[in-house]
Amino acid sequence: MKGKVRLAVIDYESCKPKKCSYECINVCPVNRTGRAVAIEADRAVRGKPVIYEDACIGCGLCVKACPFKAISIVNLPSELEEQAVHRYGVNAFKLYRLPIPRDGKVVGLIGKNGTGKTTAVRILLGELRPNLGDPGRQPEWDEIIRRFRGSELQVYFQKLANGELRTAHKIQYVDLVPRRVKGTVGKLLERADERGIARELAEELGLKTVWDRDIRKLSGGELQKLLIAAVLSKDADVYVFDEPSSYLDVRERVRVARLINREVKPGKFFLVIEHDLAVLDYLSETVHILYGEPGVYGIVSQPYGVRNGINHFLEGYLPAENIRLRKEPIKFRKGVEAEATGKEGGLGRKKLLEWTDLKVRRGSFELEAEAGEIWSGEVIGIVGPNGIGKTTFLLTLVGRLEPEDGMVLQLGEYTISYKPQYVSPELFPKGMTVGALIREVNPEAAVPGSWLYIELMKKLRLDRLWDRDPRSLSGGEMQKLAVALALSREADIYFLDEPSAYLDVEERLTVARIIRRLTETREAASFVVEHDLLILDFISDKVVPILGQPGIRGHAYKPSSLKTGMNIFLKELGITFRRDPQTGRPRINKEGSYLDRMQKARGEYYFG
């Protein structure tokens, strides 16, 4: 194919040669005259298939023949090959281009998981030396610098190669920390502290109460804040924060964003990978969008101003690259649409669930909830800090917790679907594959071509895990499976506890859209606990804000319109939001800005 380069990638984790008759080799027409696919004994691939890209004609027969969906073959423009930065091995992921760090600014990275965001920042930190697309050799720094001559990256790599840049990296997977490091929070922060600010940061992040606690006993949110404090305590030139908002509630996300912004100054470079678009918007000045085929290849876009970049991402079109990311743009409600107060009393609408004033106790924690109701076709979002009783409220409505006072009234014979907050291997039955589990819950969701299959299995990439044991999946994969199972079920009321946790931006928006579609088309109702306010805004007709003293007491307000409920919640946090005029998405106002001061004076913390 003239003007094209062929990229063949095999997911060796999914490839199982002992369970297959090597259909990829048997169907390849090139193998009759010249080898294109072979079984290699090389240690790197352990006797599994290897596709030789120079010989491959891209017919796609091996892709269709593979029973494990482990093979991907794509054609890319030959001009792009000149911008190849790194490849992990033969038939492995390939990254094109790099983000450009900016002196005294925060550069944000957004895109699907598996498109190279972490690889890109590891290269910019010097943790991974780029092989310029050839996994068979290791180029010297002089060659790498020449590759980027004439760009800002040339000067950056010169400084990195000369040891003139000190780096600090907040890693993506915070749960790995207790396995590699031992000690208390205080000891670890004092060991990391190079600027004498560790105690001050601990105070601001709420870590003083766990100062003497062993890190093995910390929650995910506490581990996240510990790592952020440790990285900010370093006297570095380049700071990278890989998904800093994971495990954190809305209040903590904004607090962390403010801390990072406070440290930005001339001579310092900041890069942030973030899936919460509201937080990324608040933090960054420029953004790069990473696109491509997850696990196969990733391409780094040109830099965009943060507002335009996120809007282009939501529109699904990158003008500088002339690339369409998706068929449909993602639009948020604007103005009076955001004031929708629900559908009660509408034609054909039914009240599905009602509850009186409730009082619930769990150990020493007490939750009080105001009376409310939910109607068919309605989505109610539940928002509040960690430890305030969101899950307790949800479990009470589900019927798994009995209130001390009050009652929950299910009006008629209705079925429910519940997705728990924490997903572990024990959630899934033994001896079943992912495909068998989906088929058991809803056969339609397992039929290729059906809308449920396309929306959930394809877009969440669960089709690639079809023959895997659910208990062997990674944490993120198990989360996606739990969300897909909950949404695949035919139910009258859906209870979804943090469905966007661990998901990338595209996956979050996919899940949000299908929650709305299912709720409306099935004339069902949905309760959704969510920390990502952009997703909450996208799906909710009403909001239940829960406020109080985390771990001690919580107060759940009655369901109210999105604007009213978010005003109650954000006033408590002291944060204001405005709407983007182009996409309608909510944006956080900078603290003390004109809009922030004006909206606070008017009492409009969530401005529609």
DSSP string, 223-261: HHHHHHHHHHTS--SEEEEESTTTT--HHHHHHHHHHHH
The fold adopted by the segment(s) 84-166+237-324 is Rossmann fold (3.40.50)
Please report the pLDDT score of residue 464 as a whole number: 86
- 40-48: which pairs have CB atoms within 8 A and are 24 or more residues apart? 44/89, 44/90, 45/10, 45/12, 45/90, 45/91, 46/12, 47/17, 48/10, 48/12, 48/15, 48/17
Please report the pLDDT score of residue 180 as a whole number: 85
Cβ pair 580, 334 in contact under 8 A: no
Q: pLDDT tens, 137-167?
A: 899 999 999 999 999 999 999 999 999 999 9
Please report the pLDDT score of residue 3 as a whole number: 59
The CATH class that applies to domain 336-574 reads alpha beta
DSSP state of 357: S
Please report the pLDDT score of residue 412 as a whole number: 72
Please report the pLDDT score of residue 218 as a whole number: 87
* Phi and psi, residue 536, nearest 5°: -60, -45
Residues of the chain within CATH 3.40.50.300 domain(s) are 84-166+237-324, 336-574
Q: What is the CATH number of domain 4-77?
A: 3.30.70.20
Residues of the chain within CATH 3.30.70.20 domain(s) are 4-77
CA distance 261 to 390: 30
Please report the pLDDT score of residue 23 as a whole number: 83
Please report the pLDDT score of residue 344 as a whole number: 57
Give this prediction's pTM. 0.88
Q: Which helix (H) or strand (E) holds 391?
A: helix 390-398
Cβ pair 4, 76 in contact under 8 A: yes
Q: pLDDT tens, 362-418?
A: 989 999 999 999 999 999 999 999 889 999 999 999 999 999 999 998 777 889 999
Please report the pLDDT score of residue 190 as a whole number: 94
Please report the pLDDT score of residue 343 as a whole number: 54
523: left (phi over 0), alpha (psi -120 to 50) or beta: left
Give the chain's residues under pLDDT 50. 1-2, 335-342
With CA atoms as reference, report the closest residue to 291 among 582, 587, 505: 505
